[in-house]
Structures are given as C-alpha cells and as structure tokens.
Structure 1
C-alpha cells in the first residue's frame, strides 16, 4: 500500500477521495489551510465510514505559501491535488486572487512533489477547462478540447481552472524531471453530503428542494456522483495507462434543471413538494435578470448544452459511473437526512 497526500482535506471531493484511499488500505496525509478545520474534516470522514484509528494525518499547508509542503509530501508515493477555490454560486469578485490560488497553488504542489520524489500527481481539474469560450456545438466535448480562457462568456472560475491545468502540463513538460501527471476533469459534482457545510455544487439541489427556485430556467448541466469522481482519481493514480492523460468525469449527457426537478419529484414523493414544476420561458428569465443577479448569471447559458464524453475513462481505466438520476437523488436524500431542507 502507498502513502498518498491529498490536498484540501476538508473539501467535498477530497473527503470522498480520502475515504476511498483508506478503504484500499493506503496511508493518507491530508492538507488543510487552517488546522482549526481538522475537527470538521474528521467528522465528515467519520460520517462517511472512516474509523478513528485509520492511517490518516492532517498537515497545515497553504496553496499560496511554500511552508509545510515539503513536510507534508515527505515519503509520499503519490499526490492528489484536489484543493481548489470554488466560489459560492460559481462566481467570484476577486478574479486575480482566484487565478493566483488555482495556478500558483498547482505549480507549488507540483514543485514540492517533484522535490519529494513523488511518482505521480493527479490534479483535479474541471470540465471548465474543456468546454467553454467557443461557439456552442452539437457533439460532445472530449479530452482533446480546451477552454479558450479569453473567449466570450468565460468567467473567473472557468479561467482559473483552465490556466491552472495548463500550468500543470507546462510544468511537467519543462520541469517535471520524470514525475508523472494525470488530470481528472469533472462536470458538476453531486452526491451524498457528509455534513452541514455543503459544497457549492450541492446548493443547486438544495435550492430545488427548498423552494428557493420556484421555476427553472432552461439550463443544462453535466452531472457526476462524487463517489465516482473519487474512484476515477484512484484509477488515474495507479493505472500505468493514465500517465500523461486527462480524463473527463461525467455520468453522461447534460441534464436540464427541469429534468432534475422531475427526478426529485418522482423519487422523493412528499419531500419534493417545493420542487418547481414550471420551466420559465427564456424571455421571463431575461426580464428577471434586470433585477435578480442569479437570473443575470443564467441568461448567457440559456438553452446551451455542453455534453462531455466519458468513453476515455471507461475504455482505458474501466471506470463505470452511476447514472445522473442516482446522483441527484443521493444528494437530495442526504440533505433531507441532515435536516438541511425545510420541513
């Protein structure tokens, strides 16, 4: 079994990656920007089934500071760089800060991993680095595609993920010194919440359940379950064929918010009584955008489908994701179970 560093140990994806590593018998080190988060992180992992005696330790390391990374990575065979800034509502006011954390932080982890003799690093990138900044198209995007960071409609988060992944590949090509790299590029990540501190991606299901979204705009999203994202990280970590490759993580074709609402109503019964039944005409969304920031965010994406292909991960790594419907319902059931939805 290996010793593996996971960055951003208090995050949603990182928690499931840590749980998967522990189940396989690996020794796990996880980084935190603030060690005050350790209790919350351990509580999340315990909710996911981790035992108190698990081979797990936490280490302080900040993506914008060199201190701590050498000690955290010492003796590690692999590093999974999962930490990334994901702003609430997928928007950010501080674009420069977001890009700095994403790009500089990624390179900082890679430099420290190279110095520690790490064999392979898996970076959690995003579909945001694949399918934006170009004219919409009918076919699915795959791992050969890259977002144009200065393209029309590319926001700060999307730009930060693109520049960070580009920086990772550039570093490996120029300074990697034989260290291997793979990236995992998820679409919107759903799945069971492990505690009340929700990932930004789960806010969407929460809004549908809680009545905060009385009607759905005509938006389409690619979806994937967090447990499958964790599984893909582990496969990309160890499979010889994964070295030097990108892997899109998606359950399948993009799903509309209206279809997601239907899944919730069909699967939850009375618990879905606040889930919207109406899909707003585009003209109504545009009118609402005059006064509502959330509607303003939706306008550029109305009716646009960005499908992603998962054939590469299936064919090369034998990855088999859950259906999107299962991820939607698992998210909703966990939010209800945790008491995070209005009664």
Structure 2
C-alpha cells in the first residue's frame, strides 16, 4: 500500500465547511479523490461530515482528512498542502453586510490567497484553482448591454461605486495572477499552474448552516420577510455546477492559466425569483411571498438606517450580464438552469438556518 502522504490524487480544499467548499469536497470524494480540507477549529470537522451526509455520502473513510489553517496566519499551511497534487482555494470572506473598512475583507482575501499559493508552490503542487467571482469582472464599468467575459476586469479606479467585497475579490485575484507570473517556480523548476472560477450568485442544495449571501436572499423571500422587493437583477448558478467546474479547471490541461465565468443563462430579477418560488410552493405556502417592487423613495428612506440597503442602492435598476461560453466550449461544462438552482435552494432550506444576521 502506498504512503497516503504522497498519494498523487490528494486534493486540498480550503474552507470545506462552507457552502461551496462542502460541495467541492463532496464532488471530489464522489469522483474518487482523497481530500484534505482546511477548517478553522477541530470542531468544524463534524460540520463537514454532516454536510457530506446530507449530500448522500455517509462515510468517506480515510479518504477525508482535516487541517487547521486560517487565511490570516502562516501557521498550518505547509502541513495542509503536503502531499497534495491539486489545491482548490475556495475559502474567502463573504459577509452578508459590507464592513466600513474595506481592508477587513481585502486583507484576508488577498493575503490568504498568497499564503495558499506560496505553500502550494513550495510543496510542489501541480495546479491551484482559485474561487474568484464575477465581482472581479463586471463592476466599476459604465452601463453596457453586452455580456461580460473573462477578458474583463472590474475597474476599481473608475470613480463608480465598488463595494468592499468587490474590491477584495478583484484585488485577491489580481494578486494571485501576479504571484504565479513572478514567483511561481516550484522546487523542481516547473511553474505552478493557476486557473480561476468566477461564479455569479451561487444557489442550489443547502447542506448545512454556512450558506452564501445569495442563499440568504432566497430564505428571506421564502419566509415572507421581503414584502417588497428591490429592483435588482443578478446572475445565478447552481453550487453543484460550480463544484464541477472546479474539478474541470483542476484536471483539464487547457484550463491552466485561464479564467472561467460560471453562470446559467441570463440574469433574473428579484421579482422573477419571487414569482418562481411562489408558484413552486403553491397557493397556500406561497401566499406570504411578496412579489411587488419596493419604490425608490422607500429604499432611500431606509438607507441611513441599514448598511445592507445602502450597499445595494448602486445596483438598483442595473443589469450586468455575463456569459459562460468559454467554460462550455473549452471544458465542456453544462450547467443546470437557473430555475433548477432556485428550486433546489428552496427545497433544502427548511432544515437549516444561517448563523448570519
């Protein structure tokens, strides 16, 4: 039997207790890989195992390992990447409300990505797949009807409002590409390969309490806590398809050095989402779901009292379209529909409540 510490098919997933991280761990284990995932404390191991069970995998056996590491500390990363062939760097801060100081998000996102890349390079990892975001592509631009592609970058110096989260994802991804270009030589002289996955709003089956801000929106709509809806439109992609795209970007030779947008079809409005959920739940359960738009005067009146409302004002009425043609053409990726992603979220939400407020 080979030494498991040198098994070439071991993959490190950072942030395995999170919404996307848990789905990536599940997809890798189902595909036959050994997986090591980082968690913040040993107690979080039970959360990961619980989510895997919710996803239909009761006992991964010795193919699942855990490592303690934090985005804000160098400690633990060398041990986390040891013996891994690939790394999926999924962990990144994504709060439900934006902080006053952008550095609260920028520092852990950028410095954490660099810590992972540095450790991966030193350990001889073959390729890192970084979970970036559409946030690093489609913001800070003048209004446009065209669909954004992987050639686009968010413009942080355009003078248009850009949230701390958008700043963090843009700065972290640019820092990652700069690192592999300038410092990416592994001990054997071969270059550390990098690919990024840039999803829009991620929905889909909820396996545990750590969910995306996009899922929080669906929960608020389903529970009737948004009697009036903001006039916003956003892209949607299923978390299972984002996990699959990570695996394709990890293994396909043509993915090295590439970015891949992940979106299912066109954008949806909050009103369209609410109507879809209402129709799915039926008349009795759906009666509490609001489907009318909130007038602008009401949003502006609420803005001084809510950081979340203030952060959304710049997005009202705007449309940012994107295309996943590259991922579909280059990697053969075929996502579920946006409607499937919404319904899967709705159907798996009742068991769980997010710890976020």
Q: Which bin holds the TM-score, normalised by the shorter protein?
A: over 0.9
The one of 135, 141, 144 aligned to 2:142: 135
Q: Distance in 2 between matches of 1:318 and 1:274?
A: 41
Unaligned runs of 5+ in 1: none
Cα deviation, residue 340, structure 1: 4.8
Aligned match of 1:259: 272
Aligned match of 1:308: 322
Cα deviation, residue 286, structure 1: 2.7
Q: Distance in 2 between matches of 1:296 and 1:53?
A: 44
Aligned residue for 1:305, secondary structure, equals coil
Aligned match of 1:215: 228
CA 98–339 in structure 1, closer or farther in 2 if over 3 Å, else same? closer
Aligned match of 1:190: 203
Q: Distance in 1 between matches of 2:18 and 2:277?
A: 25
The reply to whether residue 3 of structure 1 matches residue 10 of structure 2 is: yes
Q: How does 1:1-343 map to 2 (within 5 A)?
A: 2-54=9-61, 55-89=63-97, 91-151=98-158, 152-177=160-185, 178-269=191-282, 270-336=284-350, 338=351, 340=353
Deviates further, 215-224 or 282-291: 282-291
Asked whether the 8 Å contact 1:32–1:61 carries over to 2, the reply is yes
Q: Distance in 1 between matches of 2:308 and 2:47?
A: 30
CA 8–196 in structure 1, closer or farther in 2 if over 3 Å, else same? closer
Q: Distance in 2 between matches of 1:285 and 1:102?
A: 30
Q: Distance in 2 between matches of 1:339 and 1:201?
A: 15
Q: Distance in 1 between matches of 2:244 and 2:30?
A: 11
Asked whether the 8 Å contact 1:149–1:163 carries over to 2, the reply is no
Asked whether the 8 Å contact 2:114–2:176 carries over to 1, the reply is yes
What is the total number of aligned residue pairs between the two structures? 339
Normalised to the residue count of structure 2, the TM-score between the two structures is 0.91
Cα deviation, residue 294, structure 1: 3.7
Q: Distance in 2 between matches of 1:66 and 1:185?
A: 26
Unaligned runs of 5+ in 2: 1-7, 186-190
Asked whether the 8 Å contact 1:63–1:104 carries over to 2, the reply is yes
Q: Distance in 2 between matches of 1:53 and 1:305?
A: 42
Normalised to the residue count of structure 1, the TM-score between the two structures is 0.95
